[in-house]
Structure 1
Amino acid sequence: MQETLRPTTVEEVRSAVEWAVSNETALAVRGHGSKDGLGRPVKATHAVDLTDLSGIVEYEPEELVLTVKTGTSIADVEALVTQHNQELSFEPMDLGPLLGRPAGQGSVGGVLATNLSGPRRLKAGAARDHILGMEAVSGRAEIFKAGGRVVKNVTGYDLPRAFCGSFGTLAIATTVTLKVNPRPESSATFCLRGLSEGVAVEALCRAMGSSAEVSGAAHLPDGAQVGEGPVTLLRLEGFPTSIDYRFAILHKLLGDLGTPERIGAERSEPLWRQVRDCEMISAGEAPVWKVSVAPAAGAIYVDALRKRFDVKVFYDWSGGLIWIRCEDGALHETEIRQGLAAVGGGHAMLIRARAQERLETPVFQPQPASLAALSARLKQQFDPVGILNPGRMVGSV
Structure 2
Amino acid sequence: MTTFTPTTEEAVLETVQWALSEETPVEVLGHGSKRGIGRPLQTEHTIDLSHLSGVTLYEPEELVLSAKAGTPLAEIETLLAKHGQCLQFEPMDYGPLLGGTSGRGTIGGVLAANLSGPRRLKSGAARDHILGVRVVSGRGELFKSGGRVVKNVTGYDLSKGMAGSWGTLGILTEVTFKVLPAPETETTLAIRGLDDEEAARAMAIALGSSGEVSAAAHLPVTVTGKVIDGALAGVASTLLRLEGFAPSVKDRAAKLKALLHPAGEIEEIAEAQSRRLWREIRDCLPFADGTQRCIWRVSMAPMEAHKMAANLRLGAGVDAFYDWQGGLAWLRMEADPEPQALRRLIAHFGGGHATLVRAPAAMRAVIDVFEPQPPALAALSRRLKQQFDPKGILNPGRMGT
| Range class of TM-score, shorter chain | over 0.9
Question: Match of 1:319?
Answer: 326
Whether 1:350 aligns to 2:356 is yes
Q: What letter is aligned with 2:279? A: R
Q: Which residue of 1 aligns with 2:215?
A: 216
1:377 is aligned to 2:377? no
Q: Give the secondary-structure state (helix, strand or coil) at the position aligned to 1:296.
A: coil
Question: 2: distance between equivalents of 1:165 and 1:320?
Answer: 19
* Partner Cα separation in structure 2 for residue 20 and residue 81 of structure 1: 37
Alignment partners' CA distance in 2, 1:245 and 1:305: 40
**Cα root mean square deviation, aligned:** 1.0
Q: Take 1:133 and 1:316, find their aligned partners in 2: how far apart are those partners?
A: 29
Structure 1's consecutive aligned runs of 4 or more residues displaced over 6 angstroms after TM superposition are none
What is the aligned partner in structure 1 of residue 199 from structure 2? 200
How many angstroms does 1:9 deviate by? 1.1
Question: Structure 1 residue 296 and structure 2 residue 286: aligned?
Answer: no
Residue deviations 1:318-347 (CA, integer Å, cap 9, x gap): 00000000023x112122111112201111
CA distance in structure 2 between the aligned counterparts of 1:275 and 1:163, rounded to whole angstroms: 26
Identity of aligned residues (%): 54
User: 8 Å contact 1:201–1:298 — kept in the other structure?
Assistant: no
**TM-score of the aligned structures, taking structure 1 as reference length:** 0.97
Q: Contact 1:281–1:312 (CA<8 Å) still a contact in 2?
A: no
1:260 to 259, 266, 271: 266
Tell me the residue number matched to 1:88.
Answer: 87
What displacement does 1:154 show? 3.0
Question: Structure 2 CA distance, aligned partners of 1:324 and 1:306?
Answer: 11
Question: 2 CA distance for matches of 1:168 and 1:216?
Answer: 29
Q: Distance in 1 between matches of 2:108 and 2:24?
A: 22
Q: Per-residue CA shift, 1:169-189, capped at 9, x if unaligned? A: 001010010111101110000
- 2:282 is aligned to 276
Quick one: distance in 2 between partners of 1:72 and 1:237? 28
What is the deviation of 1:241? 1.0
Unmatched segments (≥5 aa) in structure 2? none
Q: Residues 184-214 of structure 1, C-alpha deviation per residue, up to 9 Å, x if partnerless?
A: 1100001101100110011111211111111
Instruction: Name whichever of 226-235 and 164-173 sits farther off.
Output: 226-235
The separation in 2 between residues aligned to 1:93 and 1:215, in whole angstroms, is 16
Distance 1:94 1:62, change over 3 A: same
Q: Report if the CA contact (8 A) 1:189-1:235 is conserved.
A: yes
**In structure 1, what is the equivalent of residue 117 of structure 2?**
118
Q: CA deviation at 1:302?
A: 1.0
Tell me which residue corresponds to 1:246.
252
Contact 1:147 1:153 in 2 (8 A): no
Greater alpha carbon shift after TM alignment, 310-319 vs 219-228: 219-228
Counterpart AA for 2:305? G
SS at match of 2:377: helix
The amino acid of 2:153's aligned partner reads: V
Q: Which runs of 5+ in 1 are unaligned?
A: none
**Structure 2: how far apart are the matches of 1:299 and 1:23?**
50
* 1:1-397 matches, cutoff 5 A: 2-221=1-220, 222-223=223-224, 224-225=227-228, 226-228=231-233, 229-283=235-289, 284-328=291-335, 330-394=336-400, 397=401
Summarize deviations over 1:5-25 as a string: whole Å, max 9, x none. 111111111111111111100
- What is the deviation of 1:92? 1.1
Query: Are the equivalent residues in 2 in contact too, given 1:147–1:155 (CA < 8 A)?
Result: no
**Which secondary structure state, in structure 1, belongs to the residue aligned with residue 133 of structure 2?**
strand
**Post-superposition offset of 1:109:** 0.9
Q: TM-score scaled to structure 2, two decimals? A: 0.96
